[in-house]
Amino acid sequence: MMLRHINRTVVAQVSMPAGRARVLLGLLIFGMAGLLVRAAYLQGMQNDFLQQEGEARFSRVVEMSADRGMITDRNGEILAISSPVASVYADPQLIAINATQLRELSSLLAMDEAEVGRRINREQSRFVYLKRQIVPEVAERIHALKIPGIAFETEFKRYYPEGEGTAHVVGFTDINDQGQEGVERGWNAVLAGEIGSRRVIKDNKGRIIEDVENIRAPKPGRDVALSLDRRIQHIAHRELKKAVAIHKAKAGSIVVLDAQTGEVLALTNFPVYNPNSRSSITSERIRNRALTDTFEPGSTLKPFPVAVAIETGHVNPGTQLQTSPGTFKVGRSVIRDVSDKGMLSVAEIIQVSSNVGMVKIALSLPSKTLWEIYDNVGFGMPAGTGYPGEANGLLRPYNRWRPVEQATMSFGHGISVSLMQLARAYTIFTTGGELKPVTLEKQKFPVMGQRVISKETAMAVSQMLEMATLPAGTAPLAQVNGYRVAGKTGTAHKLIDGKYAKKQYISSFVGYAPASNPRLIIAVMLDEPSAGKYFGGAVAAPVFSQVMSGALRILNVPHDAAVNNIVRYLSVSPEEQEG
């Protein structure tokens, strides 16, 4: 009886009056109706709003990389190409990683564990790179760790098959695949193409689960075919590297031009860098000295005053000039030859490189006439290859010249040029008097030149330059087996802080072959050779000979001389050679 009484008491306590129950039920029904109306309103009237809110949380616009164009040599050999690589990134708000995974991840990334931990703990960030451009094998191993919040994106890394061999022409890109030096920089707009974009849906772990639409398709970059011949470039690079080492030079440069078209077939410098190894890239090594640095060219400029003197009728190749006693006074300055060479013809002045003879020719000309030949062959202005940072050089206005300056400029002092400008200037002797534009791009059609001197004058000077490479000249070491060679040596005291250094020289040689029908021009420059020899005929001419020999063989150029034509006998000792 007592238990039954207790049960009735509990039931009585939890029972509810009928009126109150109806009110509560009504409120529930009303609330449900409100929710249904609200849902219908949002689904019908506010559908766009909901779509926007959903997309804001899960929809993303991502960039679509454009394939960067290849760089090739004139024969289609690849000099620069982009290959796909993975970049690993994290969403710090989604990351879930234990100590073991962190240690393994850091090891695979070759990064300090504390640095990785610092990056993935950026709580205010949704995206942070852990490492960019890792090899696919490493990316696969990181993916296998299955760490939430770690994801990958595909990027492209530039690869340079020739390494340092073509570095100063091709250049390199940064980690974002944008050109930083060389052709990569100068032709970046052409090579890079245009980045595209697409809209995607990502899940809460940052993974792309659906492509929604392409907003803008990427436009691939265009391939660029350079004028370089990889085979000739290899020879030039090898021989210059060897010469810099043998002569303990501070630096060196070489340029190889097609003598008829002005196309750059080879160009290299030392010091050099490897574009595949970022650690080798320094400001000193990336300088393309053949295009961006200038120097006083010395006697390699002597053919130009002679050419204009012949052209204007002041002299002819047989005109005799007295150079005794080996000195000539201009104002307070004394111009010297290394020895008394006596009476010389104009042709012999070039052959033995007499400074006194050259000064007498130059001073017989109006200063404007001498200035015009230098201006007409491109000195004092960029060479025009399109390479970033081309040097202008220095050619002062003729109305500011003093007599001694007109005298010294006849043998390459008081004027500065780049090696490319110098090589280009010699095209007037290989094309019958026309100055050809120089280019780093392969040419599909013949290029027009600008006439500077007559064909007859060009031929006369060319014969003199051929004499300079014979035994009685200053450059017998420039001779090439089976070919007639023409060229000129240069040895100039280096200008440092406005003064000429006594024991620091720029040694150079510019020449072409075959002399009967020129195919190639090669200009060589060594900066501060310090192993004992410093004359251009002893230091730069042998480099010319080796590169020219290999290049003519590669191009299968017919011989224009006997295969045993080389004669190394010198009528004067190396110490007596002019520069």
Q: What value does the CA radius of gyration of the chain take, rounded to a whole number of Å?
A: 37
pLDDT digit string (tens) for 290-308? 999 999 999 999 999 999 9
pLDDT of amino acid 1: 46
Give the DSSP H or E segment for 334.
strand 333-336
d(CA 152, CA 90): 8
d(CA 474, CA 518): 21
pLDDT of amino acid 571: 45
Q: Annotated active-site positions, please?
A: 299
- CB neighbourhood size of 532 (10 A): 9
| Parallel, antiparallel or unpaired: strands 78-90 and 71-72 | antiparallel
pLDDT digit string (tens) for 186-244? 999 999 877 765 665 655 555 555 555 566 677 889 999 999 999 999 999 999 999 99
CA distances, 364 to each of 300, 305, 360, 406, 459 (Å): 20, 10, 6, 10, 22
CA distances, 123 to each of 90, 92, 96, 126, 293 (Å): 11, 6, 12, 8, 50
Reading across the β-sheet that carries 251-258, which strands appear in turn?
A: 264-270, 251-258, 520-527, 499-513, 486-496
- First vs last Cα of the chain: how many Å apart? 136
pTM over 0.75? The answer is yes
- The secondary structure of 355-378 as a DSSP string is HHHHHHHHHTS-HHHHHHHHHHTT
Per-residue pLDDT of the chain (579 residues; tens, 9 = 90+): 444 444 544 444 555 677 777 777 778 888 888 788 777 766 666 566 556 655 555 566 656 567 899 999 999 999 999 988 888 888 888 888 888 888 888 888 888 888 888 888 876 777 888 888 888 888 888 888 888 888 887 778 899 999 999 999 999 999 888 899 999 999 999 998 777 656 656 555 555 555 555 666 778 899 999 999 999 999 999 999 999 999 999 999 999 999 999 999 999 999 999 999 888 889 889 999 999 999 999 999 999 999 999 999 999 999 999 999 999 999 999 999 989 999 999 999 999 999 999 999 999 999 999 999 999 999 999 999 999 999 999 999 999 999 999 999 999 999 999 999 999 999 999 999 999 999 999 998 888 999 999 999 999 999 999 999 999 999 999 999 999 999 999 999 988 887 888 889 999 999 999 999 999 999 999 999 999 999 999 999 999 999 999 999 999 999 999 988 888 655 444 444 555
To which residue do tokens 């196309």 refer? 263
Q: 181 and 286 in contact (C-beta within 8 Å)?
A: yes
SS3 534: coil
Average pLDDT of the chain to the nearest whole number: 88
CA distances, 254 to each of 226, 241, 420, 541, 544 (Å): 17, 10, 9, 11, 9
Structure tokens at 37: 């109306």
d(CA 250, CA 236): 18
CA distances, 489 to each of 290, 300, 516 (Å): 17, 6, 20
pLDDT digit string (tens) for 20-38? 777 777 788 888 887 887 7
